[in-house]
Amino acid sequence: MKKLSLLLVIAMLASITACGGTSNDIEDTTTAASTEAEVTVDTSLRENTPDNLPELDFKGETVTIFYRANQYADVVGGEEETGDLVNDAVFNRNRKVEERLNITLEYIAYESDVTQFSNAVRSVVTAGDDAYDIIHHAQYEQAILAVEGMLVNLIDAPYIDYDQPWWATDYMDIIAIHPDYRYQLIGDFSTSRISSVSANFVNKRMLEDNFGSVDDFYQMILDGNWTFEVMRKYCTDVYKDLNSDGKAGYEDILGSAVSWSSQSEHSTFSAGAKYTERGADGYPQLIADQSRNVEIAEKLYQMVFETEGFYYDSDYKSQTGAQLNAFKNGTMLFYVQQLGAASNYLREMNDPYGIIPRPKLDENQETYLALVHDGVSSYSVPVTNQNLDMACAVMEAIAAEGYRTVIPAYYEVALKVKYAQDDVSVQLIDLIYNNSTTDFIYANNYVFSDAGNLGTISRKLIQNKSKDYMSTYAGIQSKLEAAFETVFSEFKAKQ
């Protein structure tokens, strides 16, 4: 997606060349790229990117940002510099914005889950309280608040320049209820729009022991031939039934494993699933041709339930539990996760690993795709806000400074240098991220959940061990179309 691209190819080419390679080298550079100190990344192009904010002075006003406490590091960055690259970048970003706008940023944490956080926002707005200037929340929950009339339409917001590279404009266009309305901002104020993108991880030691050259495997991916069928073959060929019970399990050498949760939908959208499109009136509507979605459901079923060496774990927590442990312990070839797993879960992994995309449906798929998880952080402004100009100037300044300093710290240094262990993984991270996308019904799934969860239909199919997409779809289609009409009509009435 155009506005999701980080536009850092030039900088990365320069940095990789300085380390003795090129962006097309297919060789293991684990040692050379294992620490920050050994690689210098030129981020000057980003650091010097100007914004269009005028000289502003808000006379020491306090700007309150309400956020979920578990996002502390990404939002606040700590009370002081600690030596951690990303923490210090966030900390300094906030100080620069405060000094530039003559404000004090007050971050108000809420120790609770996403639904209770939303309820806290509702309580404040319903009471007419202007306690919060900005809401930092999960995108799928902000979507519900938007249709409920809790948030300000920011499509023509003062000071927000959507042509700037720190805003994911294309993504925001997809999730919007209508092109004339934008209630959520997605951009470089948060690293979550990188960490929440679909990825796959491969154990390079297991790959080499069982299949020979890692380079050949990477070249196959770069040639565009990494598909469901190819991944199935790798899973089958690596499988060893160590406990001789005739079925795959964590006691064996596995190809891969998944649960029914987000792992299934990320694989579905990476294979090109599409559920909605814009109608002539600008509002989303269900697509007529469901043939690709049918094929994806069948291929995913084959992968999970008909592939020797692929294990289905009904416990959705296994993706950060038993699955993760199998991958880290060197008994599972592929770990199906999101990009953030590199920094969140794999820091202490002993075997070298590669970062690769989710497989294509087949070789006819034009490019590898990746889903932006619906829990990605978004900014919004409650309708009780009494100083929209100040709130918007702050959001623009934070996103711009994030683009210049925080995103390079996380994306170019922490993710690519500390956690990507070879040059090809660096290339593939760019490919994954620059082809990340979503669908309206997935991003707004819980707005219409009473009618049926089309956005997460793959979860239901996998959970029920079914590949009958059309029967499941037919069971919710009329309800969903009616829900679209009701929600959109009520939305129009509020404008």
Residue 347: per-residue pLDDT: 86
Over residues 18-31, mean pLDDT? 28
pLDDT above 50 for 47: yes
Residue 474 pLDDT greater than 70, yes or no: yes
Evaluate if residue 169 carries a pLDDT over 50.
yes
pTM over 0.75: yes
Q: Regarding predicted confidence, which is higher, 111 or 251?
A: 251
Report all structural domains of the chain as residue ranges with CATH numbers, in order of start: 50-194+375-419 (3.40.190.10), 198-371+437-481 (3.40.190.10)
| pLDDT, greater one: 84 or 468 | 468
Query: What does the mean pLDDT of the chain come to?
Result: 89
Question: Average pLDDT, stretch 129-155?
Answer: 97
Lowest mean per-residue pLDDT among 76-80, 129-133, 239-243, 478-482: 76-80
User: How far is it, in rounded angstroms, from Cα 39 to Cα 32?
Assistant: 8
User: What is the reported pLDDT for 179?
Assistant: 97
pLDDT at residue 421, as a whole number: 84
Q: Which two tokens stand for residue 488?
A: 């959109």
Model confidence at 44, in pLDDT bands (50, 70, 90)?
Answer: low
pLDDT per position as a tens digit, 260-286: 989 999 999 999 999 999 999 999 999
pLDDT exceeds 70 at position 300: yes
What's the pLDDT at 82? 83
* Res. 361 pLDDT band, cuts 50 70 90: very high
The pLDDT of residue 5 is above 50: no
The tens digit of pLDDT for each residue in 83-103 reads: 888 889 999 999 999 999 999
* pLDDT the model gives residue 75: 81
In the chain, the percentage of residues whose pLDDT exceeds 70 is 91
Res. 9 pLDDT band, cuts 50 70 90: very low
Q: Residue 460 burial (CB < 10 Å; 0-12/13-18/19+)? A: middle
Give me the mean pLDDT over the 468-492 stretch.
96
pLDDT of residue 137: 95
pLDDT in tens, 333-344: 999 999 999 988
